[in-house]
Amino acid sequence: MARNVREQNTDARPAIANPLPSIGQYDTVLLASGIWNVRAPMIMTAFTESYDFTGKTIHPITTHAMSGLGNTERDYTRSCPGAVMGQGLAVKGEEVRDAGPDLHAWLHATGLLSN
């Protein structure tokens, strides 16, 4: 938590160890992370600023203690100009093991799963 607060306070962009060569082949991107201090880790911003999300649909997925999606929708909208913000999913950390039915319902609601 202390590292994340420090990175947020300095608006850091941590290095990505193994960056993807491209996201061009994807129309829909799921951005999944924990929420620390109401935001996704700063490496998520480093990732989103590294690629062109124009015309892509982004679905934020988070695990959290109390803040739901936190500021992920706002942050991804800023760092992914031209992207469409799709419906997000937030799961409380202590409920992850039992989140299967919620995940399945979310996948159907977003059209990511049709069966």
For the segment 71-101, what is each residue's pLDDT rounded down to a tens digit? 999 999 999 999 999 999 999 999 999 999 9
| pTM for this model (two decimals) | 0.91
Quote the pLDDT of residue 28. Answer: 97
pLDDT at 3: 84
Segments of the chain scoring below 70 in pLDDT: 1
Q: What is the pLDDT of residue 11?
A: 87
Query: What is the model's pLDDT at position 1?
Result: 67
Distance, in Å, from the CA atom of 87 to the CA atom of 109, rounded to the nearest integer, reads 9
User: What does the pLDDT read at residue 95?
Assistant: 96
Average pLDDT, the chain: 94
How many other CB atoms are found less than 10 A from the CB of residue 86? 18
